[in-house]
Amino acid sequence: MNNFIEGKYINLRDVELSDAEFIVNIRTNVKKTRFLHPTSGDVQQQVEYLRKYKTRDKEWYFIIMDKQNLPIGTVRIYDVKGDDFCWGSWLIIDDMPPQIALESALLIYDYAFNVLGFNKAHFDVRKGNIQVQRFHEMFGAIKTSEDELDYFYKYDKNTYLEKLSKFQRMI
């Protein structure tokens, strides 16, 4: 894999083993990850996870970079089921302008729908994560169910295409 996705303010590139320390730092930030599955603070464990990831099929893990190629976040496509994918592990460092989150979501949807050929997305958001729930619902995601911890959403390519020009103007 050698994916590079260019945006207006950010780029996405495939994760590398050398990104392990950055990933551990962002994934162990209590403020950032209170709604995510916990991650070990052991960089070597992260290296091993990334090594295994690199052998998997139908998973894409990206580092979100600013235009100076500095890492500012992570995002992943995984849990592929036919023409349906899940995306998550979406973290952006503090003090980034809102268009960074918006553009990273647009780039992931564009890549998944238009490059990889998926037609649908599914994902879950912790019930307490109101800001991310609102973000996805603003995009047109539909809440389909819930359990004790999470709300489950679906999103499709047609909704993405309908909303695309509006969101492109926002960035």
Q: What is the pLDDT of residue 101?
A: 93
Please give the model's pTM, rounded to 2 decimal places.
0.92
- Strand bridging mode 142-146 / 150-156: antiparallel
Q: What is the pLDDT of residue 1?
A: 53
What are the per-10-residue average pLDDT scores of the chain (171 residues)?
Answer: 88 97 91 74 94 93 97 97 95 93 96 97 95 94 97 97 87 69
Total of domains in the chain: 1
Domain of 18: which CATH number? 3.40.630.30
- The three-point CA angle 70-116-129 to 5° equals 60
Q: What is the pLDDT of residue 37?
A: 73
Structural domain for 94, as ranges = 4-170
**Calpha distance 157→150 (Å, rounded):** 23
